[in-house]
């Protein structure tokens, strides 16, 4: 592999000049041509490792997801990678498996690898362990979850409004007893979705009860179990509001087992549209998260922070969800 020295020798200038040329600084016209020629004929390429060693810039962005095993990350990562590569960055990806210890370890690895920025789908919702590890060595962008008291910029879906409007839609169709099938509430995303639900009830002067919110975790097993509990409840619910697609899977299984028909026996609304949900017998009314946008915006934010370190404005980018009204809510007025 030819080095910058070879290029300098071949083109009769110093390495500094070649370096300047490569990095877009002004160089004497005839030198420019000579260097260009030398680079081409030697087929010289900048050794990224050497450059990184010197500059501590790797053009690599570290990403921590909670799991790969989810449609959500699939879409987000797809767009993120595309956007990053278009801008000359690579993506180095880890899965925390929803484990704080893993997250910690991964952050350490990434710092040690000198990633230029870190994009995290945080596991740790409450007090951020992220800050205590990363300090200010590297810009951090949070995605999907907001961490309390954190100063990092954050890209999230507009959960409150989406939740509000889809619940409002149910209310307008006469539903007053809506059970929420939810994951753990300490996640900001969950909380916001529940908040939207509560606000809609408030605004329509309907009573809400904490026991209407069935809390599990974001797995299909949990969705299955919670549905059993909803159905066994003394209160008769006319509708279910499911807060994620994984939960929905379990809900669908449970309903199928009990031969409960949507929307005749029970109305149903879920979060997380994907093509897969259309396998259900009825087209389910569903909130489509802006997954692709989340990916792109997080990537943009990361690059922006790399370019412009001082602008550490802890701003929140909210991406709008789309409510897809379909056939799973019965008008019971």
Partner DNA sequence: TTGTACGCGTTATCAT
Partner DNA sequence: ATGATAACGCGTACAA
Residues in contact with its own copies by the rule CB under 8 A: 45-50, 52-53, 56, 58, 60, 67-71, 73-75, 77-78, 81-82, 85, 90-95, 97, 106, 109, 112-114, 220, 249, 252-253, 256, 275-281
Shorter beta-carbon distance to DNA: residue 17 or 96: 17
| Interface positions, 26-65, toward DNA (CB under 7 A) | 26-28, 31, 46-47, 50-51, 53-55
The C-alpha atoms of residue 71 and residue 271 are separated, in whole angstroms, by 12
- Residue 94 binding result from its own copies, DNA, none, given CB thresholds of 5 to 8 Å by partner type: its own copies
- Residue 13 binding result from DNA, its own copies, none, given CB thresholds of 5 to 8 Å by partner type: DNA
The C-alpha atoms of residue 23 and residue 39 are separated, in whole angstroms, by 14
The C-alpha atoms of residue 293 and residue 290 are separated, in whole angstroms, by 5
Residues 23, 29, 33: CA angle, nearest 5 degrees: 75
- Residue 27 binding result from its own copies, DNA, none, given CB thresholds of 5 to 8 Å by partner type: DNA
Residue ranges of alpha helices (H) inside the chain are: 4-11, 15-22, 29-42, 48-55, 71-86, 100-112, 129-134, 159-172, 188-203, 220-232, 245-257, 291-307
The C-alpha atoms of residue 272 and residue 133 are separated, in whole angstroms, by 32
Residue 177 engages DNA in binding (rule: CB under 7 A) = no
Shorter beta-carbon distance to its own copies: residue 34 or 80: 80
Q: How far is the CB of 109 from its own copies (least distance, A)?
A: 7
Walk across the sheet containing 178-182 and list its strands: 213-215, 178-182, 239-242, 267-271, 285-288, 322-324
Shorter beta-carbon distance to its own copies: residue 37 or 68: 68
Among 4, 178, 277, 305, binds DNA (CB under 7 A): 4
Burial of 62 (0-12, 13-18, 19+ CB in 10 A): buried
- Residue 3 binding result from DNA, its own copies, none, given CB thresholds of 5 to 8 Å by partner type: DNA
Shorter beta-carbon distance to its own copies: residue 71 or 118: 71
The C-alpha atoms of residue 114 and residue 240 are separated, in whole angstroms, by 46
Q: Which residues lie near DNA (CB under 7 A)? A: 1, 3-5, 12-17, 19-20, 22-23, 25-28, 31, 46-47, 50-51, 53-55
């Amino acid at each position: 592999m030819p080095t910058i020295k070879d290029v300098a020798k071949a083109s009769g200038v110093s390495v500094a000049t070649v370096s300047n040329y490569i990095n877009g600084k002004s160089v004497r016209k005839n030198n420019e041509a000579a260097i260009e020629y030398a680079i081409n004929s030697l087929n010289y390429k900048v050794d990224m490792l050497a450059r990184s060693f010197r500059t501590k810039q790797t053009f690599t962005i570290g990403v921590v997801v909670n799991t790969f095993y989810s449609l959500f990350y699939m879409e987000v990562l797809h767009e993120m990678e595309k956007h990053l590569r278009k801008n000359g960055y690579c993506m180095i990806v880890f899965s925390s498996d929803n484990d704080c210890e893993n997250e910690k370890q991964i952050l350490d690895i990434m710092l040690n690898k000198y990633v230029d920025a870190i994009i995290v789908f945080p596991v740790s919702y409450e007090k951020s362990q992220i800050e205590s590890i990363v300090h200010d060595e590297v810009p951090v962008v949070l995605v999907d979850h907001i961490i309390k008291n954190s100063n990092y910029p954050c890209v999230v879906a507009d959960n409150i409004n989406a939740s509000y409007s889809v619940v409002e839609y149910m209310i307008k169709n006469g539903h007053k007893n809506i059970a929420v099938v939810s994951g753990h509430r300490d996640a900001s995303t969950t909380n916001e979705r529940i908040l939207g639900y509560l606000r809609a009830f408030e605004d329509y002067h309907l009573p809400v009860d904490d026991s209407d919110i069935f809390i599990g975790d974001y797995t299909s097993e949990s969705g299955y179990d919670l549905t059993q509990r909803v159905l066994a409840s003394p209160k008769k619910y006319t509708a279910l509001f499911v807060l994620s697609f994984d939960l929905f899977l379990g809900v669908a299984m449970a309903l199928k087992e009990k031969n409960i028909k949507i929307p005749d026996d029970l109305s149903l609304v879920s979060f997380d549209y994907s093509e897969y949900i259309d396998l259900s017998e009825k087209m389910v009314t569903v909130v489509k998260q802006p997954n692709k946008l989340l990916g792109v915006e997080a990537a943009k934010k990361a690059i922006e922070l790399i370019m412009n370190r001082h602008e550490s404005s802890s701003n929140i980018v909210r991406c709008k969800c789309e409510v897809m009204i379909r056939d799973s809510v019965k008008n019971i007025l």
